[in-house]
Structure 1
Amino acid sequence: MWRPDIVDLGQFYQSHLGQVTSRHLTTDIRAFWPNVSGQRVLGIGYATPFLRPYLDEAERVVALMPANQGVRFWPREGPNRVLLADELELPLTDQSFERILVVHALETSETVRPFLREIWRVLNAGGSALFIVPNRRGLWSRAEATPFGHGHPYSQGQMIRLLRSSMFQSDRVESGLHFPPVGWRPILRASRVMERVGTRLWPGFAGVTMIEAQKQIYAATPIAEPKRRRRRSTARAGVAASARSEYAREAQKNAGETPCRLAT
């Protein structure tokens, strides 16, 4: 599956449409996480346009970019906080972040469930992950001039079911980018009004779906374990019965008797 590279993403967010998009999504993300003081925040995909408000507030802010996307130094001021990583082997310890933002990542992943499993592993038990994906019914998923027009778009129901099957519990679902994906300045100037109206009147046709989820700890317990134990117990019983039968036949042979079937 083709994924926009670091050059395409950078050019979009430097454009006028990209700057307006970044401003609206940053406001939406802030509504999910109004305070991350003392917490560790991780961005996966291309999340750097939305992480800047947390730099001075969070205990730690780190961004991971997929290897087939490319990486860019960030932020311009201060030490670099970006790593290039394999999405199936995130170079992080278990439960190391309280907040994880996933944007421009899930819809272009070729191995969605293993990728979600890695996010589950890294997320702290009391934390939350925020997934931002193109909405299947929205205009943005059809606009190839934007990063949201590539990969596999999702409806709200599809995302909720996907997260549930990957051991996440969806807590809150919102929509975003209710203005059309065009760079016409009159539209962009009216985007704030269109966002307020669209949230009430046409949320199902928004550009993106935003879902905040927590990890299900109990779901990590192997359900099939009792069956495996029963199979092992049955196998051991069969081996023991076979050994007893063999012993009985050998004893009868040595005694010159006709072998008979072992009573069960």
Structure 2
Amino acid sequence: MMSYSVYDLKQFYSRRAGRLVRRLLSSHIRELWPDVKGLDIMGYGYAVPYLRSFQEESANAYAVMTASNGVHFWPEDQGRKGLVCLSTEAELPFATESLDRILVVHGLEHAEMPEALIHEFWRVLKSNGRLLMVVPNRLGLWSRVDWTPFGHGTPYSYKQIIRHLHENRFSTERKEKALFMPPFRSFLVLRTAYTIESFGRFIFPGLAGVHLIEASKQIYAGIPKGKAEKVRGQRILIVDPLPT
């Protein structure tokens, strides 16, 4: 399937179903990361709906969007400086060990080079940093419908994600599953979403819409020769808002 553009993603999260998805996933994310005071956070993929709750607490919250999906200005508050850029998977525009947290949403499933991307996450994270990935479940219903962004790109099983992480020197810390409600737009389903979410993890955990996996760096692993001193000289795009 073709990737959603950032404008498709933005439109999804502006609708009733998308707003509900944001609230459900945000509650899981904040349970895993309740305190981000003074931390530098990067959201990769299309994480801006979930970065908003971190803006006031964190030292900095940056949005990095993918070349496959495109980019739009963020944050959208009038008069605020743009904190978004477009980046390739193999060269993130951050210094080595400069970030405390990386949140990945609508990112891994669109990566053409997932190994290179996760290697870059390892490079830019501080030694005590944490990576949190929200990835469509290959067995879930949400990966099978294309009116949501979770139905685009390549969904993953839990074991596939763990393998990618371990091969790139990450250790798994915590895991969650979310989006147990079926991907229907009916008012009844949306109204009962919180009830379904509360018992879904116990009754049909394998059908969750997404995996949430938190990982930390394996700092004892050696850095490949030549990687530590590599200078990142790519040109990045900082987007200004369109005139109204």
Give the TM-score, by structure 2 length. 0.88
Partner of 1:242 in structure 2?
none
Measured on the aligned residues, the alpha-carbon RMSD in Å equals: 1.4
Partner of 2:59 in structure 1?
59
Supply the distance in 2 between the matched residues of 1:221 and 1:20 (Cα, whole angstroms).
Answer: 42
SS class of match (1:182): coil
Supply the distance in 2 between the matched residues of 1:154 and 1:125 (Cα, whole angstroms).
Answer: 27
Partner of 2:228 in structure 1?
none
1:220 Cα offset (Å): 2.5
Within-5 A mapping of 1:242-253: none
Which residue identity lines up with residue 195 of structure 1 in the other structure?
A: E
Larger radius of gyration: 1
Partner of 2:99 in structure 1?
97
Greater fraction helix: 1
* Greater relative CO, 1 or 2 (CA 8 Å, sep 6+): 2
SS class of match (1:84): strand
Unaligned runs of 5+ in 1: 224-264
Within-5 A mapping of 1:77-96: 77=77, 78-96=80-98
Which residue identity lines up with residue 139 of structure 2 in the other structure?
A: R
Q: 1:116 aligns with which of 101, 115, 118?
A: 118
C-alpha change, 1:2 and 1:110, in structure 2 (3 Å) is: farther
Partner of 2:15 in structure 1?
15
Unaligned runs of 5+ in 2: 226-244
1:70 aligns with 2:70: yes
Deviation string, structure 1 residues 121-153 (Cα, Å, up to 9, x no partner): 111110100011000110001011111111111
Supply the distance in 2 between the matched residues of 1:80 and 1:118 (Cα, whole angstroms).
Answer: 23
1:74 Cα offset (Å): 1.4
Supply the distance in 2 between the matched residues of 1:68 and 1:213 (Cα, whole angstroms).
Answer: 25
Partner of 1:34 in structure 2?
34
Partner of 1:162 in structure 2?
164
1:45 Cα offset (Å): 0.3
Within-5 A mapping of 1:223-262: none
Q: Percent identity?
A: 45
**Number of aligned positions between the proteins:** 223
Contact 2:118 2:164 in 1 (8 A): no
Which residue identity lines up with residue 188 of structure 1 in the other structure?
A: L
SS class of match (1:13): helix
1:63 Cα offset (Å): 0.5
Contact 2:137 2:208 in 1 (8 A): yes
Which residue identity lines up with residue 133 of structure 1 in the other structure?
A: V
Deviation string, structure 1 residues 165-208 (Cα, Å, up to 9, x no partner): 11110111100101011111111010001100112221211000
Supply the distance in 2 between the matched residues of 1:7 and 1:145 (Cα, whole angstroms).
Answer: 13
1:161 Cα offset (Å): 1.5
Supply the distance in 1 between the matched residues of 2:219 and 2:21 (Cα, whole angstroms).
Answer: 35
Supply the distance in 2 between the matched residues of 1:147 and 1:169 (Cα, whole angstroms).
Answer: 28
Partner of 1:226 in structure 2?
none
Which residue identity lines up with residue 105 of structure 2 in the other structure?
A: V
Which residue identity lines up with residue 145 of structure 1 in the other structure?
A: W
Give the TM-score, by structure 1 length. 0.82
